Structures are given as structure tokens and as C-alpha cells.
């Protein structure tokens, strides 16, 4: 089940917790941000054959998230998500290494995921240097496309080939996760399925309109389909599965956030 809070509610909870160390406010924050733990665990191992492995990773991740809530300083770190993700990743990595509960195969995947976190930082610094951008310039998110390895890497290839110049997401996703909507000028890092950074994209336009009002002239900018019908079929499936994970229901009139972008850096 998804736990939704508005931006105002989140700010109020942070104030309550930081000013008064209010335990109820802390628990509300942990409930809200636990999607970060689930996301990181899913990136380490998308399909768990051993439920105990999944539970152990989530427990370690929650320890990291709790530490992040306890120590977060807004003046020092502008984005809680990034700060928390690092502590979650560190806790999973250190716990599995020191306490030796993970199998060799799972430990290798944890180590690979941990290393990729440093790769992203180095990649971003390379981009800033190449464009003579201010060191304080931030990226909005680091992500891969789609829900499966095959499609994540296929869509990345389309981006790198210059065929995919847009992406679409559900407005309900942003509402449920309290992520801010993309804005013109935003930078994002696109990775492959394994989390390796491959390019930086810059948002050039953002349009919100109902799913059933998207025309082929619009959706063809995603570079994935030859017809409107095939785009609709694929995105119905994506939004239905995404909704199950995040906590919304797809409908033909669901508002879609259509984001145009350009590749501004690649290795």
C-alpha cells in the first residue's frame, strides 16, 4: 500500500521531528520514505527466489533510512532522497559484509550496486567539468527507463541513438511519491539496468494531458512505436504495473506528464 503525504505535510513533519524530536512525526516520515528502501532493494535484485534475502535487505535498508531521518540537515544536504539513498546503500553494503548473512551471489550484487553509486558521482562531476558548469549544479534524478532489464536497455539505446527524445509518466505517480514534477532546464542521469550512468539529459518541455488525448504527433517523440495504437498498448501495461507498485489506478483519462528532453552529455 502506498503512503501519500503532501509537500506541506512532509515539511510540517520535519519541523515537528527536528524541533521536538517527536517520535510520531519520525514514524510518519519513515512510512513516507520507505519507498526508497524498496527501490534500492529492487535495484540490487529484481527477482528474489529467497524471501529471507529480501527481508534481510529491507531490514538493513530501514536501518539506513532511520539513520538518515535522524541525522538529516537541510542546510547541508538539499535533497533528502539523495542523502537517504547513500545511507541506505551504505548500511546494506556494510551489514552484508560484516555479518556475512548474504550468499556469495547476493553479496556480489550488493557490491556491484554499491560501486555504481560512486560511478554516478564521478560521472556527474565529469559532466560539470565538460560544460564548465557551477559545482553546485544538481541533477533531479538518476534513473533507468521501464520495469524490466530488456526494455530499460532498449530504451536507453534509443536515447543514445537520438531516436528517443521524450518520456511519459503518470501524474498520479508524482502525487503518490511526492516527487516534484519535471521542469524545463532540469538535468537527469540515465543509467542502464545495472545502474551504470550512460548519459545526462536536459528537460526542454513539459506537457500534462489526459492519456486518451495524446496524439501520435506527440507520442512519436518517445521513439518507441510506429503507431498510436502500439504506444497506447505498451503504456497501458506500463501504467497498470506502475500503479500496482506505487498505489494508483490507470484509466483512459489519467493525466500523463509528457517530458521532452535532449542529451547534453554522454561518455
> What is the tens place of the pLDDT at every residue in 194-248?
778 899 999 999 999 999 999 999 999 999 999 999 999 999 999 999 899 888 9
What is the pLDDT at residue 1?
Answer: 35
> What is the tens place of the pLDDT at every residue in 140-155?
888 888 878 898 899 9
Model pTM above 0.85: no
Domain ranges of the chain: 7-130, 141-266
Which among 183, 161, 169 is positioned nearest to 214, based on CA atoms?
169
> What is the tens place of the pLDDT at every residue in 107-124?
666 566 555 555 777 788
Cβ-contact 187, 120 below 8 angstroms: no
> What is the tens place of the pLDDT at every residue in 19-28?
999 999 999 8
Residue 61: pLDDT band with limits 50, 70, 90? confident
Task: Name which CATH class applies to 141-266.
Answer: alpha beta
What is the pLDDT at residue 178?
Answer: 77
Distance of CA 33 to the CA centre of its chain: 12
Which position has the grid cell 513533519?
Answer: 13
Which position has the grid cell 538529516?
Answer: 72
Which position has the grid cell 542546510?
Answer: 75
d(CA 105, CA 128): 35
Tell me the Ramachandran region of residue 78: left when phi exceeds 0, alpha when psi lies from -120 to 50, beta otherwise.
alpha
d(CA 3, CA 176): 7
What is the pLDDT at residue 2?
Answer: 40
Calculate mean pLDDT across residues 154-166. 96
Amino acid at each position: 500500500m502506498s503512503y501519500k503525504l503532501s509537500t506541506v505535510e512532509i515539511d510540517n513533519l520535519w519541523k515537528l521531528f527536528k524541533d521536538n524530536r517527536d517520535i510520531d512525526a519520525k514514524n510518519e516520515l519513515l512510512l513516507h520514505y520507505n519507498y526508497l528502501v524498496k527501490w534500492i532493494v529492487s535495484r540490487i535484485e529484481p527477482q528474489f527466489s529467497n524471501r529471507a534475502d529480501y527481508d534481510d535487505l529491507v531490514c538493513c535498508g530501514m536501518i539506513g533510512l532511520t539513520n538518515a531521518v535522524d541525522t538529516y540537515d537541510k542546510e547541508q544536504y538539499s535533497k533528502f532522497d539523495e542523502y537517504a539513498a547513500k545511507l541506505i546503500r551504505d548500511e546494506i553494503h556494510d551489514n552484508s559484509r560484516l555479518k556475512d548473512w548474504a550468499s556469495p551471489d547476493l553479496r556480489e550484487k550488493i557490491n556491484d550496486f554499491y560501486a555504481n553509486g560512486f560511478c554516478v558521482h564521478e560521472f556527474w562531476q565529469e559532466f560539470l567539468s565538460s560544460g564548465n558548469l557551477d559545482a553546485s549544479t544538481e541533477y533531479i534524478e538518476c534513473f533507468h527507463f521501464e520495469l524490466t532489464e530488456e526494455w530499460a536497455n532498449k530504451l536507453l539505446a534509443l536515447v543514445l541513438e537520438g531516436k528517443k527524445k521524450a518520456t511519459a509518466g503518470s501524474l498520479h505517480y508524482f502525487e503518490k511519491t511526492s516527487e516534484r514534477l519535471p521542469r524545463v532546464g532540469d538535468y537527469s542521469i540515465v543509467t542502464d539496468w545495472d545502474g551504470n550512468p550512460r548519459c545526462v539529459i536536459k528537460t526542454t518541455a513539459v506537457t500534462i494531458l489526459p492519456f486518451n488525448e495524446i496524439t501520435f504527433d506527440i507520442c512519436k517523440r518517445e521513439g518507441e512505436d510506429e503507431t498510436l495504437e502500439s504506444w497506447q498498448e505498451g503504456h497501458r501495461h506500463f501504467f497498470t504495473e506502475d500503479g500496482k507498485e506505487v498505489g494508483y489506478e490507470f484509466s483512459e483519462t489519467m493525466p500523463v506528464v509528457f517530458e521532452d528532453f535532449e542529451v547534453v552529455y554522454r561518455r
